[in-house]
Amino acid sequence: MNSKETEFLKQINDNKGILFKICKIYQDDTEDRNDLLQEMTLQLWLAFDSFRGESKFSSWMYRIALNTAIAFFKKQKRRPDDQNLPYDFDKAEEISRAGEEEEKLAMFYKAVQQLNKVEKALIYLYMENQSHEEIATHLGITPVNARVRLSRIKDKLKEITKKMNYEYR
């Protein structure tokens, strides 16, 4: 293994949380998440030469990983983006055993599955504490649009969770 590979694998390992969360936002099936994880790793490796250290590795990684997640499309039996989530949450029992925070987060991940791919990118970057300016730069939109759209997404998530019999203010 050469130094480039070693450096790449170290950086990926240090920032793997970014990839894991993007997988959970974009795919709700374990197999699809693993496939997306592999594809993101591959695309990051292919693009690694373009990383010149001018920005933080994590910022560069957001862009590549999100682009990959948006362009990722598998032949699958069902597509979460196109489906309405059943109101009876299928993992309710599992979640009730977890702590309240984890319960809320699991509900959030489930609700996010009903957003479209662009909305997922916006809410992901927001959760990662990116500013409106940073979100706008990553997406190639204006900061004002990023702010307005985020506000709408929050309202949309509120509606979704209400339908899931879960109050989400």
Partner 1 sequence: MNIDELKDAWNKDDSGDMRLHLDTASLNKTTSVLGRLRKNMKAELISLLMSYVMIFAVLFWNVRSPLFFNITVVLLFSSLVITVFYFFRFYVFYKSIGRYDLSIANSIRKITYELELNTEIYKTYSFSAIPLSVLTALALIASKIRFDHLNNAIFTNSSLLPFGVMLYILATILLSFIITYVCINFHVRTSYGKYLTDLKQVTNDLGELS
- Closest CB to partner 1 among residues 58, 145: 145
Q: How far apart are CA 99 and CA 113, in angstroms?
A: 22
Binds partner 1 by CB under 8 A, chosen from 4, 56, 116, 159: 116
Which residues, in sequence order, are CB contacts of 121 under 8 Å at separation 6+?
Answer: 66, 69, 70, 138, 139
Minimum distance from residue 90 beta carbon to partner 1 (Å): 16
Q: How far apart are CA 124 and CA 138, in angstroms?
A: 12
- Closest CB to partner 1 among residues 85, 137: 137
Which residues, in sequence order, are CB contacts of 100 under 8 Å at separation 6+?
Answer: none
Residues within window 117-146 making contact with partner 1, judged by CB under 8 A:
117-119, 121, 127, 129, 137-142, 145-146
Residues within window 52-81 making contact with partner 1, judged by CB under 8 A:
60, 63-64, 66-68, 70-74
Minimum distance from residue 56 beta carbon to partner 1 (Å): 14
Contact call for residues 45 and 11 (beta carbons, < 8 A): no
- Closest CB to partner 1 among residues 1, 88: 1
Nearest-5° Cα angle at 55, 49 to 61:
60
Nearest-5° Cα angle at 96, 91 to 100:
120
Contacts to partner 1 by CB under 8 A: 1, 5, 9, 12-13, 16-17, 19-21, 23-24, 30, 33-35, 37-39, 41-43, 45-47, 50-51, 60, 63-64, 66-68, 70-74, 101-102, 104-105, 108, 116-119, 121, 127, 129, 137-142, 145-146, 149, 154, 157, 167-169
